Amino acid sequence: MRKKIVAGNWKMNKTYEEALSLVSEIDNMLKDEVSGDVTVIVTPPFPFLHAVGKLTQGNDRLHLAAQNVSEHESGAYTGEVSAAMLRSVGVEYVLVGHSERRLYHHEDAQTLYKKMKAALAQGIKPIFCCGEPLEERDADRHFEYVGQQLKDSISYLSNEEFDQVVIAYEPIWAIGTGRTASSQQAQEMHAYIREQLSRMFDAEAAFNCTILYGGSANPGNAKDLFSKEDVDGGLIGGASLKSRDFTDIVKSF
Ligand code: PGA
């Protein structure tokens, strides 16, 4: 059975107090309004992980993710945060390969592979992000582009490692722009991704892999996106900063 996931990526937003109120609002809304089997994930900035983790630990509805992890195990890497540190504060998932990290922090395919390995070694599940820039979509090369991203980072994992991975398809032109991929465009790409994965790993593992859509998803378009066969949920940026919007997205399956 494929897991349905809605993950909120808070990016570099919120102060400590704001983060705590957001997560407790979400927690209360989930308890009161949401039944069913959606795994809900929040992804606060590093300084708030510990405090938010106290709320998510032992909470079977709400789970904790980090926005980044070092590819190194430990040592002299000023400013970096290791997978073991994340694990020790209750982190269960980590974003790897978000386009903002690829672009602003020059994270390449090999680094992303190492980050996934580092996370997996600590029992943390990577949410591997992929997606094409507008030029590639306009030139009709989006399938090849995303296929290559998977090949360059994901294909080196073992079958056992791959079982722990979540994929997020996030077309760069849709991130924070208010321009969403149509549910048709999302479905087409998700089906393509699943097919590529079935060539790298076994077909059952590819079938069971959760593939999220990200890029200006909101309470108005989530239902349509989530109705598609290969869209198993969403990675939500802007709309995850408001408890009402985020919870409404969770209710969109
Ligand atoms: P957005 O961001 O929902 O604000 O477009 C999505 C993401 O970058 O994960």
Q: Specify the CATH number for the domain of residue 134.
A: 3.20.20.70
Atom of ligand 1 nearest to the CA of 240: 3
Do residues 124 and 91 lie in contact, with contact meaning Cβ atoms separated by under 8 Å? yes
- The whole-number pLDDT of residue 34 equals 86
Q: Tell me the CB-side half-sphere exposure of residue 194, using CA atoms within 13 A.
A: 21
- The whole-number pLDDT of residue 120 equals 98
- The whole-number pLDDT of residue 177 equals 87
Q: What is the mean pLDDT of each run of 10 residues along the chain (253 residues)?
A: 95 98 96 89 98 92 97 98 98 97 96 98 98 95 98 96 98 90 96 98 96 96 97 98 98 95
What lines the ligand 1 site, CB under 6 Å? 9, 170, 175-176, 214-217, 235-239
Report how far residue 35's alpha carbon sits from residue 168's, in angstroms, rounded to the nearest whole number.
24
Q: What is the DSSP string of 173-225?
A: GGTTTS-PPPHHHHHHHHHHHHHHHHHHS-HHHHHH--EEEESS--TTTHHHH
Q: Which long-range contacts (CB under 8 A, 24 or more apart) does 195-203 make?
A: 196/147, 196/150, 196/151, 197/150, 197/154, 197/162, 197/167, 200/150, 200/151, 200/154, 200/155, 200/162, 201/159, 201/162, 202/159
Active site (annotated) includes residue 190: no
- The whole-number pLDDT of residue 48 equals 98
- The whole-number pLDDT of residue 178 equals 82
Provide the domain limits for residue 183: 4-250
Number of domains composing the chain = 1
- The whole-number pLDDT of residue 40 equals 97
Residue of 235, 241, 242 best suited for mutating to test ligand 1, as the one with most atoms within 8 Å of CB: 235
Q: Which of 100, 132, 170, 190 is catalytic?
A: 170
Please give the torsion angle defined by the CA atoms of residues 9, 13, 121 and 88, in that order, rounded to the nearest 10 degrees. -120
Which tokens go with 132? 């094409």
- The whole-number pLDDT of residue 51 equals 97
Q: Tell me the CB-side half-sphere exposure of residue 96, using CA atoms within 13 A.
A: 31
Do residues 239 and 218 lie in contact, with contact meaning Cβ atoms separated by under 8 Å? yes
Helix H or strand E encompassing 40: strand 38-43
Residue of 6, 169, 236 best suited for mutating to test ligand 1, as the one with most atoms within 8 Å of CB: 236
Do residues 46 and 81 lie in contact, with contact meaning Cβ atoms separated by under 8 Å? yes
Active site (annotated) includes residue 170: yes
Q: Which of 71, 92, 98, 136 is catalytic?
A: 98
